A and B are shown apart, each in its own frame.
Chain A
Amino acid sequence: MTVVLPAPDVLDQESAEWVRTLASPLDSDAAIARLYDLLLRAARFEIHRRRGGFHDDLAYQAADDALTAILAKLDTYRGASRFTTWAYKFVLLEVGVRLRKRAWEGREIPLEGDALETRLRGRTPQGAAEMGEFLTALRDGIRSALTPHQREVLVAITLNDVPIDVLADRLGTTRGALYKTLHDARHKLRAHLAAGGFALEEESE
């Protein structure tokens, strides 16, 4: 299948108009107002879609922060997508971060699986028997092959479903840094399992 990708630096007419007006001293006020309106509508749509209830304060905050980010990064927009698609990702990120944070507000973050076995077994449809050896090796790997920080991050995100940005917030780090930690932890675990003779099949779709 061949896809015609928009060539960088060649903008469609509507996108070019956005970039031109936002950067123009004459037209930028009106363009910024139009953009803000678009961001706000997108934020409200997303809050509604995620059944986040009616939080118009949250929609405004997300639109505010997204607008700031977009204007600061305007010169990095190269037309790899339509301008509005590019702009939307900023406001959707802001909404997502806020909704995840709100959902975990005041909640204890489970960093360690108290009963790792129970959790692993409960999460496996096949249940106990033939998974036994593999789960034992996995549990041992989580306990012995990882650093305490790696273990904390892996257990919180993959077993306790703590959103990565919520965890980053509590630990005073960033989503990107935590994902790197998770990535390294997974790598070590897979190596541990392979060394124990467990063939990890390629995942199926």
Chain B
Amino acid sequence: MIDRVLGPRGPELTCEQCFEELDRYVEVEMTGGDPDAAVPGMHAHLRGCPACADDHESLVALLRAERA
């Protein structure tokens, strides 16, 4: 809860940048790469922003289902 109120430490992307990078981030993530090195600040934003975290989860779920 405290984390939810205080949010992530350190630099993070904006919602717009997050949407911009989401597809690339998820593909790196799903091919066993290091998404946080590929898109710095994304992980922090996903922890801090419930709506973007939702969008991230959706894309992962869809690609997983598609590849299953």
Given contacts A81-B24, A124-B1, contact A92 B55 (CB under 8 A): yes
Asked whether, in the complex, the Cβ of A46 is within 8 Å of the Cβ of B1, the reply is no
| Number of A-B pairs, beta carbon distance below 8 Å | 111
C-alpha spacing A186/B7, complex, angstroms: 6
**Interface window among A16-24, A25-33, A104-112, A159-167:** A159-167
Interface residues as binary, A150-173 with B (CB distance below 8 Å gives 1, 0 otherwise): 000010011101011100000000
Within 8 A of A (CB), among B1-58: 1-9, 12, 14-16, 19, 21-24, 26-28, 31-34, 37-38, 47-51, 54-55, 58
Interface residue SS majority, chain B:
helix
Asked whether, in the complex, the Cβ of A100 is within 8 Å of the Cβ of B6, the reply is no
Residues of A near B3 (CB, < 8 A) are 203
**How many A residues face the partner with a CB closer than 8 A?**
46
When the two chains form the complex, which single residue of A5, A82, A159 contacts B5, counting CB atoms closer than 8 Å? A159
Flag whether A123 is at the interface (Cβ < 8 A): yes
Interface residue SS majority, chain A:
helix
Within 8 A of B (CB), among A105-129: 120, 123-124
**How many B residues face the partner with a CB closer than 8 A?**
40
Asked whether, in the complex, the Cβ of B24 is within 8 Å of the Cβ of A180, the reply is no
Asked whether, in the complex, the Cβ of A124 is within 8 Å of the Cβ of B51, the reply is no
**B21 → chain A, closest Cβ, in Å?**
8
Residues of B near A163 (CB, < 8 A) are 50-51
Which residues of B are interface residues toward A (Cβ below 8 A)? 1-9, 12, 14-16, 19, 21-24, 26-28, 31-34, 37-38, 47-51, 54-55, 58-59, 61-63, 65
Which residues of A are interface residues toward B (Cβ below 8 A)? 1, 3, 5, 42, 45-46, 49, 80-82, 85-86, 88-89, 92-93, 95-96, 100, 120, 123-124, 134, 138, 142, 154, 157-159, 161, 163-165, 175-176, 179-180, 182-183, 186, 189-190, 193, 200, 202-203
